[in-house]
Copies of this chain bind each other. A is one copy, B any other.
Amino acid sequence: MEDIKIHSLDLDGEDLTVFMGFPGSGLVGSIALAHMVDVLEFTHIGNITSKYFPAMAMMVNGVINAPVRIYRKDSYVILISDVPVHPMICYEISNGILDWLEPFSIKEVVVIAGIVTNEPEKRVFGVATDNNSLERIQGHAEILPMGSITGIAGSMLVECKVNGTPSFGLLGETINNPDPRAAASVIKILNQIYGFNLDVEPLIEQATEIEAALQQMAEQVEQAEQAPLKKEQLPMYG
């Protein structure tokens, strides 16, 4: 029994680009790639399960979804995970996926993730495994000169580097809530690099709704915090 099982159509054709998104800060990778799958109508071609993933089935309209799914359209492949990857098993998952990709003709791997900063902007930061790949994102994303990327995104980039697979990472500036606005920022860059012409308006609308809900929640918290204060103060002057 293999520790990681990949059931998928083979990736025939030449010079494929593989986009990967695992749940992380702001769910940036998952949201951006799910949007891309929906709007560009990618085909579901495969699934991944693993003894390293939690024992859990998730449903969409009553139909079970595999925890990690593989989609394809033309020369583009998308890999979306619904399950976070524990730091202890990133090496196994990264290499399991890259071993599967090995016989196919992969032009580049694009890792999409979030990065938490203390600023409200929605910049997109970029890193790459080699100078050629760095040129691909130069002028589109802000190059992160130094620092470190932890977790499965970091692991995947390192293994691509070691493997000799050209690869770059796009890290949307985000906070710790689901963040469609950061996902939109990443997609704008994918539009520039790949000419996808993907409409980000639906993501902006989602973001506005989430942000309004968070704002409302924050105001209620503020009122709730002020209200009892007044009640407690009243008897003091009574």
A interface residues with partner B (beta carbon < 8 Å): 1, 5, 7, 47-51, 53-67, 87-88, 90-92, 95-96, 99, 126-131, 134, 143-155, 157-164, 167
Check B128 against A62 for contact (C-beta < 8 Å): yes
Question: For residue A127, which residues in chain B have a CB less than 8 angstroms away from its CB?
Answer: 57, 59, 62-64
A158 touches B51 (CB 8 A): no
Closest 10 CB pairs of A and B: A55-B90, A57-B154, A62-B143, A51-B91, A55-B155, A47-B162, A57-B149, A57-B157, A64-B161, A57-B158
Q: In the complex, what's the smallest C-beta–C-beta distance from A21 to chain B, in angstroms? A: 16
Q: A55 touches which one: B64, B66, B134, B150 (CB < 8 A)?
A: B150
Query: Closest residue of chain B to A159, judged by CB?
Result: B49
Q: Give the residue among A50, A134, A151, A159 with the most B Cβ atoms within 10 A.
A: A159
Chief secondary structure at chain A's binding surface: mixed
Q: How far is B158's CA from A206's CA once the two chains are assembled, in angstroms?
A: 29
Q: If A51-B92, A92-B51 touch, does A59 touch B161 (CB 8 Å cutoff)?
A: no
Having A53-B91, A57-B150, A66-B162, one finds 20 other A-B pairs with CB under 8 Å, namely A5-B95, A5-B162, A7-B162, A7-B164, A55-B90, A55-B150, A55-B155, A56-B154, A57-B157, A57-B158, A59-B144, A59-B148, A63-B127, A63-B129, A63-B131, A63-B134, A64-B157, A64-B158, A64-B167, A66-B158
**Chain B residues in 8 Å Cβ range of A53:** 91
A163-B7, A164-B7 given; A147·B59 CB < 8 A: yes
User: Which residue of B is nearest A86, CB measured?
Assistant: B55
Which residues on B sit within 8 Å (CB–CB) of A153? 57
User: Are A145's CB and B59's CB within 8 A?
Assistant: yes
User: Whole-angstrom distance between the alpha carbons of A149 and B167 in the complex?
Assistant: 35
A92: chain B residues at CB < 8 Å are 1, 51
Task: Report the Cα distance A134→B99, complex, angstroms.
Answer: 34
- Contacting residues, chain B, for A148 (C-beta < 8 A): 56-59
A49 to B95, CA, bound (A): 10
Nearest-Cβ distance from residue A69 to partner chain B, whole angstroms: 10
A-B contact pairs, 21 of them (CB 8 A): A5-B95, A7-B164, A49-B91, A50-B91, A55-B87, A56-B149, A56-B150, A56-B154, A57-B150, A57-B161, A58-B146, A59-B146, A59-B147, A60-B146, A61-B145, A61-B146, A62-B128, A62-B144, A64-B158, A65-B161, A66-B161
